[in-house]
């Protein structure tokens, strides 16, 4: 990733009042604002969103908030990596103007009880595996949109279903913001970058590369003319099983807009995988166009 060390360090903002004031003065100056929402523990995937925002907007505001409302009680909220000092250094090198890192009470003040009921694309896949996840995601993202008042918000295709939930919410509620979904950034061996990859032992990391390998095999089959979705599902499962990934949560071939399972690959399809390796849950996907 290219870095620009000449740019000033971003201003770190912890409170809603301070954020609103900072945003108001930028808007008065007519600046086009890009928003990159994250949970921190930043890697090149997050930074690619910042770079695209920098290209398309006058200023970029990154947010770092590990949102408790999108984790269920049995998930990794407490051990989710928090590396704020390192994150700030990385963002300083990537020309971010403001970093909004609120405490929990700034986002969810006492008495908070209003939630977004997410759209139907939230129901399958992640929605089945993590029943309250998208309710928490949609709620915090809508709140961040209201606070930051950005012109464009940047999300990764890595969390494909999440990006669809947000696009749908923006359309359904006529939110005045443009959503940009940006490509998946991968490690050299193909593994999708994720803050959760650091949980993996060396042996588990070796198994995990099978996820992108499986998607790659499926993509090659589609490029060679395969159109039968079950053949692709079988291929995906075979590669995962060969790597002895025992807990496959889902392997889906669906329409990219409706998330309906497909029999045949038409103009557009997407393969999505969720597995658990040891205690770590990993997701990845590949769009076929």
Q: Output 39 or 122, the one with its CB closest to ligand AMP.
A: 39
Q: Output 26 or 159, the one with its CB closest to ligand AMP.
A: 159
CA atoms within 13 A on the CB side of 23: 23
Three-state secondary structure call for residue 19: helix
Position 273 contacts ligand AMP (CB under 6 A): no
Position 152 contacts ligand AMP (CB under 6 A): no
Please report which helix (H) or strand (E) contains residue 155, including its range: strand 152-156
Q: Output 133 or 158, the one with its CB closest to ligand AMP.
A: 158
Residues assigned a catalytic role: 46
Answer for the pair 118, 125: CB distance below 8 angstroms, yes or no: no
List the x/- string, 29-58, binding to ligand AMP by CB under 6 A.
---------xx-----xx-xx---------
The piece of 15-23, 80-88, 111-119, 185-193 that touches ligand AMP (CB under 6 A) is: 185-193
Instruction: Give dist(CA 61, CA 35) in Å, integer.
Output: 5
Longest dimension (CA), the chain: 58
Q: Output 76 or 226, the one with its CB closest to ligand AMP.
A: 76
| Residue 36, both tokens | 């990159």
DSSP per-residue string spanning 66-98: --GGGS-TTSSTTTS---HHHHHHHHHTTT-SE
Answer for the pair 57, 83: CB distance below 8 angstroms, yes or no: no
Position 71 contacts ligand AMP (CB under 6 A): no
Q: Interface residues for ligand AMP in 206-265 (CB under 6 A)?
A: none
Minimum CB separation from ligand AMP for residue 29, in Å? 27
Position 184 contacts ligand AMP (CB under 6 A): yes
Minimum CB separation from ligand AMP for residue 166, in Å? 9
Position 193 contacts ligand AMP (CB under 6 A): yes
In sequence order, what are the residues at sequence separation of 6 or more whose Cβ sits closer than 8 angstroms to the Cβ of residue 34?
53, 54, 56, 57, 59, 60, 61, 150, 151, 152, 153, 154
Q: Output 39 or 254, the one with its CB closest to ligand AMP.
A: 39
Minimum CB separation from ligand AMP for residue 48, in Å? 6
């Amino acid at each position: 990733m290219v870095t620009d060390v000449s740019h000033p360090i971003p201003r770190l903002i912890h409170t809603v009042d301070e954020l609103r004031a900072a945003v108001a003065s930028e808007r008065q100056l007519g600046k086009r604002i890009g928003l990159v929402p994250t949970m921190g523990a930043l890697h090149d995937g997050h930074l690619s969103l910042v770079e695209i925002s920098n290209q398309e907007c006058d200023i970029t505001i990154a947010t770092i908030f590990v949102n408790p409302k999108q984790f269920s009680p049995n998930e990794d909220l407490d051990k989710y990596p928090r590396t704020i000092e390192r994150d700030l250094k990385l963002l300083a090198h990537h020309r971010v103007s403001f970093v909004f890192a609120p405490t929990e009470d700034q986002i969810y003040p006492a008495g908070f009880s209003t939630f977004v009921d997410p759209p139907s694309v939230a129901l399958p896949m992640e929605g089945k595996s993590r029943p309250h996840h998208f309710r928490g995601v949609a709620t915090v993202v809508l709140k961040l949109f209201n606070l930051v008042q950005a012109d464009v918000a940047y999300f990764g295709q890595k969390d494909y279903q999440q990006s669809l939930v947000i696009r749908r919410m923006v359309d359904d509620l006529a939110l005045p913001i443009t959503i940009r979904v940006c490509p998946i950034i991968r490690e050299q061996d193909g593994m999708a970058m994720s803050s959760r990859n650091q949980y993996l032992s060396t042996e588990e990391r070796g198994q995990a590369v099978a996820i992108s390998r499986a998607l790659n095999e499926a993509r090659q089959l589609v490029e060679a003319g395969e159109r039968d979705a079950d053949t692709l599902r079988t291929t995906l499962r075979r590669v995962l099983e060969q790597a002895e990934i025992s807990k496959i949560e889902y392997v889906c071939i669906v329409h990219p807009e409706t998330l309906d399972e497909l029999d045949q690959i038409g103009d557009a399809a997407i393969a999505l995988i969720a597995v658990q390796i040891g205690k770590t849950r990993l997701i990845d996907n590949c769009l076929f166009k």
